[in-house]
Amino acid sequence: MPQPGEPLRKLGFLTIGQFERDDPRAGHDNTLDVIVLGERLGFDSAWVRHRHLQYGISSPVAVLAAATQRTSRIALGTAVIPTGWENPLRLAEDLATVDVLSGGRLNPGISVGPPMNWEYVKDALYPGTAEIEDFGYGRVERLLGFLAGEKASELSGAQGVVEVFSERVEPHAAGLRERMWYGGGSLRSARWAGEHRMNLLTSNVIQAEESEDFALIQQSQVRAFRELHPEGRVSQGLVVIPTDNATPEQKERYQAYVDQRLPRTGVTHGPRRMMFAPDLIGTSGQIAERLSADPAFREIDEVAFALPFSFRHDDYVQILTDIATGLGPALGWRPAPDRRD
């Protein structure tokens, strides 16, 4: 467990991978270019979001498969795959395949719950079985078991002249089970992740259960996780926008973006009392000062800073470069090109 004030050990970033409806390839190519840039800048990890039936990455596993062939060191993660959209056996096969292609660099993040906009997609996603589907933790437990090598079939060995079957998911990716992350935003999910020996992804959206102080709530969730899994990893994901090398025009647009989102912070939303962290904008020194005063950040030694939605490719290049050359070092991080997870 990191001690307060320890240097940031691992620096990552998260991208939504947006694209245009009529030109999807350009956006996907830009996403891969951003991941390659991240490796060149020395980032420890690159993470991709999912966006089903939107103009963002709908198949993070496929995108990361492509990224494995363009990178050699950087860890590649998903933040997060909602398992309500997935068959655990098939997802295990896909994740294991990409992990093998990456040389053991995959860090899958997953979550539970019904698919977003369930009433609109259920008939297309689960025709005939929508009402009996279970979107609870059991879905994740099945996935974890398959990745660990547990039996998936009663059939194994040779069948016929050339067919040979395995009782487990193939390829088997040794070590992948230990690199599984859970995207949690409540005490219950943090504890569940700890009990099941997963790593914890905590983000800029959490559930206000004990107070309405975002940082203290997040700190409580991190501590609850670590009580059950002291050696588990915790990564914090916040939106940061350093402006060290931004043009005046970029700074103006960035500030307008942050101002537009600010009213949603500081209050709870909906019956689950969800809260949003404010976006952090300013020079690297200013952002580092704010993070150093954050109770949750002081207990975390790795981050996956989220790139803002709907920015231009050149904006992401500037932001990533400033994070790697300004903000990261201000937090005590140093790039290590030869380091691998």
Taking only the tens of pLDDT, the chain with its 341 residues reads 455 568 999 999 999 999 999 999 999 999 999 999 999 999 999 999 999 999 999 999 999 999 999 999 999 999 999 999 999 999 999 999 999 999 999 999 999 999 999 999 999 999 999 999 999 999 999 999 999 999 999 999 999 888 999 999 999 999 999 999 999 999 999 999 999 999 999 999 999 998 999 999 999 999 999 999 999 999 999 999 999 999 999 999 999 999 999 999 999 999 999 999 999 999 999 999 999 999 999 999 899 999 999 999 999 999 999 999 999 999 999 996 644 44
The answer to whether 171 and 188 are in contact (CB under 8 A) is no
Please tell me the distance from the alpha carbon of residue 114 to that of residue 261, in angstroms, as a whole number.
26
Q: 63 and 56 in contact (C-beta within 8 Å)?
A: no
Alpha-carbon dihedral sign for residues 171, 176, 182, 188: positive
Task: Give me the pLDDT at residue 340, please.
Answer: 41
Task: State pLDDT tens for residues 211-222.
Answer: 999 999 999 999
Backbone angles phi, psi at 78, to 5 degrees: -115, 135
Entry pTM: 0.95
The structural domains of the chain, with segments of one domain joined by +, span: 10-330
How many CB atoms neighbour CB 225 within 10 A? 27
Q: How many CA atoms does the CB half-sphere of 175 hold within 13 Å?
A: 9
Name the CATH superfamily for 10-330. Answer: Luciferase-like domain (3.20.20.30)
